[in-house]
Amino acid sequence: MTEAHRQDRHTVALMGNPNTGKSSLFSALTGTRQKIANFPGVTVEAKIGTTRFENSEITVIDLPGTYSLAARSPDERVATDALLGRIEGTPKPDGVIIVLDASSLDRNTYIATQVLEFGLPAVIALTMMDVAESRGISVDAKKLSEALGVPVVPINAPRGTGIADLKETLHRTLHHPGKVLELDYPEDFKRGVDTLHQELCDLGVKLGFKPVRPEALRLLVDGAGPFFDECEEVGGAEFTGKFFEIRERTAAGHSLSMVEAQTRYGAIGKWMQDVKQAEAREGRTKTDVVDGVLTHKFWGSLVFLFMMGLIFQSIYSWSGPLMDVIDGAFGALGDWVGGMMAEGALKSLVVDGVIAGVGGVLIFLPQILILFLFIAILEDLGYMARAAFLMDKIMSRFGLSGRSFIPLLSGFACAIPAIMGTRVIEDRNTRLTTIFLAPFMSCSARLPVYVLFIAAFVPKQEYFGFLELQGIVLFAMYFVGVFAAIPTALVLKKGILKSKVTPFLLELPSYKMPRPKAVGRVLYERGGSFVKRAGTIILAVTILVWAAGYFPQSDEIDAKYDAQLATLAEDSEEARSEIENARAGAHLENSYLGRVGHAIEPAVEPLGWDWRIGMAAIASFPAREVIVATLGTIFNLGGDQDEESATLREVVQNAERPNGSKLFNLATALSIMVFFALCAQCAATLAVMRRETNSWKWPIASFLYMTTLAYIGALVTFQVASALGG
Amino acid sequence: MSSNTLDKLPIGATATVTNVQGDPQLQQRILEMGVLPGVQVQVVRYAPLGDPIEIKVMGYSLSLRKAEAKHISVEVSS
């Protein structure tokens, strides 16, 4: 085989600041051949794709955008670990592409100086040259290349220019050893790094890897962080003692962060004198003009309120017809498949378990896609950062950040897109708190429960000619969740999720026209990842509840109703379906689910419930809106009930206990509504929580916390309402 | 010329950073974003509710809370 024909494989890491066009470049390089790499123990992920150049196959790892390699949390450590090939299942890069935004080159170059100290073969991809030019800044790529000692290729990924050149340069670079960037650190600092590096190498055997010099620099400057914890664990007090001594000696009363930043930015400032020519421009940039309106005290607030109203309304109302289509299609599919199958367990599994389960997963897709359509457009536009800027003061009162606002607002439509939307929150603890709070926002699936019980038990009354009591109760139900979320947020942020400081240092990127391709990519990724990952868990839980409600099938019950059918005096459709519905109800009571309902009756009695409500609540854990259909079955109406059905409303109004007293009254109805407002009855939410936090800890905590809260809330509601004579 | 902290500056004011302090983690974040001694910053605006602040530094816009800005000492030019 000749040299030219040999297939060679490489792996490169793609790094750079956020908002630099890094993901556009990744897409331009890899097209659709990409997958998500989940890193264990952290909440960030990277995308992996492949690109070809001649006979080479190059794997590209798109690492999360970051301003620095300093690592105070495991999430921030990922970039360094990935760069050094220390993440299991992710290939070790033999080169790196650093993406730099020419329009704010000074700050962008900061991370380049850190990455180049690792000495990997590197290429700089220079983006946003057009934006820089429009501001009167011209960047000399050749001089930048001379300064940094690595090739620089100007690119425009959305237009596709420079990509071929970048690949060719990268290919060439990968065949030569990289060069370590040498910066002018003070002598004491260099000596400190060297001494610590030596100590780390001595520790290397126990660490399981050979620490490189830039890691020693990071450890020396950052002090605390995941790498320090790791070293402390294997090196014990002997290591930490030496570490603190070296650190103190090196710092000599100064701040090491300051030394690092001044050295790097000092070098950058010198280089830029040659690299960058800024033509003095009078007047304001387009972004300044737009911001004059969008962050204006009055107009900015008005636009913001309008945007939020629009997003909320759209998730709520646009998704309705689409959800109906999905619901109808799966109903029809179930009927069609059911019609071709013989009665029995298999038919019930396919129709009521699998088809209904898949439908139950896909029904959330319209809401997810609509929310992400807005988020993707606003993010690409640069508005999301402004929204956070506007809302930060209010959210910071609850220990959250401005970035938490949009996810929480969308939680009122559906917690799933809300949780997925928390990725924009940089601080890990703030993000976890927001994820935990999202299910407290009263989502649209709770509405059927409210509608049914409010219509049935809250009297129609008007105050002052326009305030409707039913409307007030509905509003109050929405408020219950918020009311529970506020102290939860404060407790979380003051307690276990306390961020020492929650820095709200937020870049306000320049406005850009949203690119349909980028928006489409976000929709495709978010929609796909929801269906694939969450879908499996939701489906499993749905089938589990189906089985609990189906088995054991009693022949006695069938015999009893068969006999009734046979002796039917008048053979009408109506009479038949009445008996069939009674049969379904009897089977459900006899099922494991029905038995569980009976078993927990003593526990739900203080809430004003009987076994039937208890069972319906349990059956609603996979998806809370199921309660309406379950109540339909249990009260022998058949499963095809919805919250608007007058019959179901009448039946719950008239349902009786064995002693003849009414099962439901206003107090019971309120207690059920409060329970549903607070309870974590959504397998999809828990599955998404697991996926986004990369741990079972959070969904389990959320489930236990919300269920307990729901129980207590319902208990208090019933007891108080009963005492008040409800 | 007068010394002050960044959170005290009025809209439109231009100043040179003289020192960055605060909790080590916060200090490091501020420095990394390009706010370090010798660098010029300009206060662009305050958010409608009075906090956070938007500043221009190194040719880009950065938003930070007043509580963070108070760790940044500046010297106001003119």
Q: Is the dihedral of CA A62, A67, A69, A70 positive or negative?
A: negative
* Beta carbons of B24 and A296 less than 8 Å apart: no
The DSSP code for A79 is H
State whether B65 and A390 contact (CB < 8 Å).
no
Residue of B nearest to A394 (CA): B49
- The predicted structure's pLDDT at residue A72: 81
Residues of chain A above pLDDT 90, percent: 37
Higher pLDDT, A493 or A136: A136
Q: Residue A2: is its pLDDT beyond 50?
A: no
* Nearest chain A Cα distance for residue B72, angstroms: 13
What residues are paired with B60 via a beta bridge? B57
pLDDT at A409: 82
Residue A277, number of CB atoms within 10 A of its CB = 12
Give the model confidence (pLDDT) of B1-52 as tens digits. 578 999 999 999 999 999 999 988 889 999 999 999 999 999 999 999 898 9
Q: In this predicted model, what pLDDT tens digit does every residue of A456-467 receive, in sequence order?
A: 888 887 777 777
Phi then psi for A639, rounded to 5 degrees? -80, -5
Q: Are residues A109 and A239 in the same domain?
A: no
Q: Is pLDDT of A264 > 90? A: yes
Interchain CB contacts (distance < 8 Å): A and B: 128
Residues 6+ apart with CB under 8 A from A708: none
Task: Let me know whether A341 and A399 are in one domain.
Answer: yes
| CATH architecture for the domain at B2-76 | Roll (2.30)
Q: What confidence score (pLDDT) does residue A1 get?
A: 42
Name the band, by pLDDT with cuts 50, 70 and 90, for residue A316: low
- Which of B23, B50, B54 faces A389 most closely, judged by CB atoms? B54
| Last residue in a domain, options A174, A205, A231 | A174
What residues of chain B, 38 to 57, have a C-beta less than 8 Å from chain A? 39, 44-45, 47-52, 54
Judge: B34–A110 Cβ closer than 8 Å, yes or no: yes
Both tokens assigned to A7: 């297939």
CA distance linking residue A113 with residue A180, whole number of Å: 10
Subunit contact B49:A255, Cβ cutoff 8 A: no
Q: Which domain holds residue A342?
A: 299-445+460-516
Residue A681 has φ and ψ, to the nearest 5°, of -95, 70
In a shared domain, residues A378 and A508: yes
The span from the CA of A149 to the CA of A154, in Å, is 16
Query: A69 to chain B, minimum CA–CA distance in Å?
Result: 10
Selected residue with higher pLDDT from A170 and A450: A170
Inter-chain residue contact A295 with B26, CB threshold 8 Å = no
Residues A497 and A473 in one domain: yes
The pLDDT tens digits of the residues spanning A675-685 come to: 999 999 888 89
pLDDT tens per residue across span A628-648: 777 777 776 666 666 766 667
Region A405-411 average pLDDT: 84
Residues of A with CB below 8 A from B61's CB? 287, 291, 507-510
Task: With respect to residue A440, please indicate whether it lies within any of the assigned structural domains.
Answer: yes
Higher pLDDT, A703 or A427: A703
Taking the C-alpha atoms of residue A240 and residue A446, their distance in angstroms, rounded to an integer, is 53
Find the range with the poorest average confidence among A403-417, A541-555, A640-654: A640-654
Residue-wise pLDDT for A175-232, tens only, equals 999 999 999 999 999 999 999 999 999 887 788 888 999 999 999 999 888 899 999 9
Number of domains observed in the structure of chain A: 4
| Phi, psi dihedral angles at A463 (to 5 degrees) | -115, 140
**A385 and A491 share one domain:** yes
pLDDT in tens, A561-615: 888 878 776 767 777 777 877 888 788 888 888 888 889 999 999 999 988 889 8
A149 shares a domain with A78: yes
Residue range A53-106, pLDDT digits in tens: 888 899 999 998 899 999 887 878 889 999 999 888 889 999 999 999 999 999
Helix axes A555-566, A573-590, angle to 10 degrees: 170
Chain A residue numbers touching B58 (CB-CB < 8 A): 104, 106-107
Q: What is the pLDDT of residue A99?
A: 97
Is pLDDT above 70 for A43? no
Residue that is written with structure tokens 């938007």 in the block:
B54
- Tell the burial category of A610 from Cβ atoms under 10 Å away from its Cβ (0-12, 13-18, 19+): buried
| Residue A38 scores a pLDDT above 80 | no
User: Coil, strand, or helix at residue A35?
Assistant: strand
Strand partners, A15: A98
Give the gap in angstroms from C-alpha B40 to the nearest C-alpha of chain A.
13
Nearest CA in chain B to A106: B58
Q: Is B65 close to A106, i.e. CB distance below 8 A?
A: no
What are the structural domain ranges in chain B?
2-76
Q: Do A503 and B24 make contact, defined as CB atoms within 8 angstroms? A: no
Dihedral-angle region of residue A438 (phi above 0 means left; psi in -120 to 50 means alpha; beta otherwise): alpha
Last residue of a domain, one of A151, A174, A197: A174
Q: Which of A137, A297, A507 sits opposite B62 (nearest CB)?
A: A507
> What average pLDDT does the segment A380-392 reach?
88
CB A132 within 8 A of CB A138: yes
Place of tokens 């646009």: A318
Q: For residues A622 and A696, state if they share a domain.
A: yes
Q: pLDDT tens-digit profile of A322-362?
A: 888 888 898 899 889 888 888 777 887 888 777 877 777 67
Whether A261 sits inside 8 A of B36 (CB atoms) is: yes
Distance from CA of B78 to the nearest CA of A (A): 20
Least Cα separation, residue A146 to chain B (angstroms):
22
H-helix segments, A254-350 = 256-275, 286-294, 299-313, 319-340, 345-348
Tokens of A30: 């890899």
Task: Select from A268, A153, A249 the least CA-distant residue to A199.
Answer: A249
Q: A178 near A95, Cβ under 8 Å?
A: yes
From CA A471, how far away is CA A261, in angstroms rounded? Answer: 58
How does the average pLDDT of chain A come out, rounded? 86
Task: Work out the average pLDDT over A495-510.
Answer: 76
pLDDT of residue A502: 63
Task: Closest CB to B68: pick one of A104, A300, A504.
Answer: A504
Nearest to A104 among B25, B47, B60 (CB): B60
Whether the pLDDT of residue A443 is over 60: the answer is: yes
Residue A269, pLDDT score:
96
Question: What letter represents residue A186's amino acid?
Answer: P
* DSSP one-letter code for A659: T
**Residue A301 pLDDT exceeds 80:** yes
Q: Enumerate the β-bridge partners of residue B72.
A: B20
Question: How far lies A383's CA from each of A24, A287, A380, A509, B65, in Å?
Answer: 18, 11, 8, 9, 18
Under DSSP, is residue A117 helix (H, G, I), strand (E, B) or coil?
A: coil
Q: Which residues of A touch B26 (CB under 8 A)?
A: 501, 503
A163, A266: one domain? no
* pLDDT given at position A6: 56
DSSP notation for A467-496: EEHHHHHHHHHHHHHHHHHHHHHHHHHHTT
Instruction: Please state whether A445 falls in left (phi above 0), alpha (psi between -120 and 50) or beta.
Output: alpha
Give the per-residue pLDDT at A440.
94
Q: Please tell me whether residues A170 and A193 are part of one structural domain.
A: no
Q: What is the pLDDT of residues A280-292, one digit of tens each?
A: 766 677 888 888 8
pLDDT in the model for residue A73: 79
Same domain, A433 and A347: yes
Tokens of A470: 């039913």
| Distance from C-alpha of A23 to C-alpha of A281, rounded to nearest angstrom | 31
Query: How many residues in total does chain A contain?
Result: 726
